[in-house]
Every structure is written in structure tokens, then in C-alpha cells.
Amino acid sequence: MAKVAIIGASGRMGRMLIAAVDQAGHDLVAAVEYAGNPLLGEDAGSLAGMAANGIQLSSDKRDAIAQADFIIEFTGTASTLETVALCRELATPIVIGTTGFNEDEEAQISAAAEHLPIMKAGNYSVGVTVTLKILEQTAKALGKPFDVEVIEAHHKHKVDAPSGTALNMGQAVARGLGIDLNDHAVFAREGITGERPDGVIGFSTIRGGDIVGEHTVMFAGIGERVEISHRATNRMNFASGAVRAGVWVSAQQNGLYDMQDVLGLKDIS
């Protein structure tokens, strides 16, 4: 049984994570929110719709990290980078579900991974992880004659676009094609754009309502089209996957890992 601390515990994902830790039979030792959050002092179990568990929502991130076998955080980039620095100081593994990091921030996380185990994924769904592997293999088999579009939809409150999962899907396709996504991604189209260039990977973003997460990658060829989709109907699959990832990464050497490592998919060509 692992001792788990959750940063961002009162949010939508945070509450799911509290429940997922309980369902997996692990021990929630701390639930953290930012200083000034109106829910500070509330019982974490009650926030997650369960019986009270005696863990009060706190703003003491350092104390939480010191108690835990691993940390899970789904918040914003600034908070997560602060947590990574504390985890490095206290030698506590971390599961990062936050998305929207820029290149410099990604470099900070990679540097920290030289000193502690870090699990980082744009999506902790087992289904999405398998889909990423399928996308890489599909792109490799179909090749460059097929035009690729990544279409994603999320709820109205999501603050970054494209989603981390959409970017991961684009990266999986790029690996299959043997190209660098940074050199071939198209994130916006407006006005007279001209004909589509060969070799680009397009992204389209939808935001609205309470959509949990929907992703489709379209391989459009001449006379045929292949579409590979994943649709999430609730967040518990993400939360359960993150807890599973935390248990796995807490037993690893220093390094930066993702869900394909957890599922052993990187050895499948």
C-alpha cells in the first residue's frame, strides 16, 4: 500500500484522484490546494463524495511531499514546476498530469528527472496509451501519401490548446513517419491558405460544455480514409491510470517516464 499526496485536490481531477486512491487500496496522506482556497480545512473524502477520511485540505505542499511515497499533480504549470523543485529537494517521485508547458518548462522537468523519477503524460488513460502506439504503427504503415489531421474536443474550462493528448498523438504520428512534429505541425488556418502542403500534421480544437475528452486522428488518402478515435466518458479512467503510474514510477530509478513505460509498450515495434 502506497502513501499518496495529491496537489490540486479540490479540482475536478483532484476529487477523482482522491476516489481513485481509495479504490486502489492506497493511503491518502495529504490533499493540497493553493493558499487562500475557500475549501481549505474541508475533509478530502467528503469533497470526493465519499465518507470522511480525516485528511483535511491543506496548503502545506512541503509537508505533503515529505509524507508521501509519490505525488500526483493535475494543476497549472507554475504550481507544478514549484512541486517538481520540492520533489527534487525531498527525493519524492511525482506523477505530472498538468499540460501546457512551454519548451523552457519542459527542459526544467527533464533536468529534474536526472535527480528523481518523474512520470509525465498528457493522458493517463490506458486506452489512450494503447491508441498512441497504434497511431505510430499506422503512420509507419500508411506513409506520407496520407494527410494527417488531429481533431480534439474538451470541456469549456480547459485552458490550453491543443490538448496534451492531441500533441502526444501528433508526436506518435510523427515518429511513425520519421519526422519532427515541431517542423510539420499546423495549429491554425484562416483566410486564403492555399492548397495543403505535403507532410504537415494539422490540429483542430473544439471547446464546449462538459466534454470530458474526445480525440480522432484522420489519415486521409486518395479514395480512402482511416480514422482512429478515443472517447472518454468520465475522468475516473484518467485518475485510476495516474495512481497506477504513481505506484510504478515510485519503484523506478531516476528518469522521465510516460504511460507507455508503465504498460511495457516501448519494446513493441
Predicted confidence (pLDDT) at residue 269 exceeds the cutoff of 70: no
Q: What is the pLDDT of residue 196?
A: 94
List 3, 133, 140, 158, catalytic entry: 158
Q: How far is CA 47 from the centre of its chain?
A: 23
Rg (CA), the chain: 19
Residues 246 and 119: beta-carbon distance below 8 Å? yes
Predicted confidence (pLDDT) at residue 100 exceeds the cutoff of 90: no
Task: Retrieve residue 214's grid coordinates.
Answer: 474526445
Whether 61 is catalytic: no
Helix H or strand E encompassing 4: strand 3-7
Confidence of residue 45 (pLDDT cuts 50, 70, 90): very high
List 154, 184, 215, 230, catalytic entry: 154
Q: What is the pLDDT of residue 228?
A: 98
Percent residues over pLDDT 90 in the chain: 92
Q: What is the pLDDT of residue 268?
A: 67
Predicted confidence (pLDDT) at residue 25 exceeds the cutoff of 70: yes
Whether 154 is catalytic: yes
- Helix, strand, or coil here: 18? helix
Q: pTM (2 decimals)?
A: 0.81
Select from 61, 5, 73 the least CA-distant residue to 34: 61
pLDDT in tens, 183-197: 999 999 999 999 999
Q: What is the pLDDT of residue 60?
A: 97
How many H-runs (helices) and E-runs (strands) does the chain carry?
A: 10, 12
Per domain, the residue ranges of the chain are 3-120+236-263, 126-232
**CATH of the domain spanning 3-120+236-263:** 3.40.50.720
Tell me which fold the domain 126-232 belongs to.
Answer: Dihydrodipicolinate Reductase; domain 2 (3.30.360)
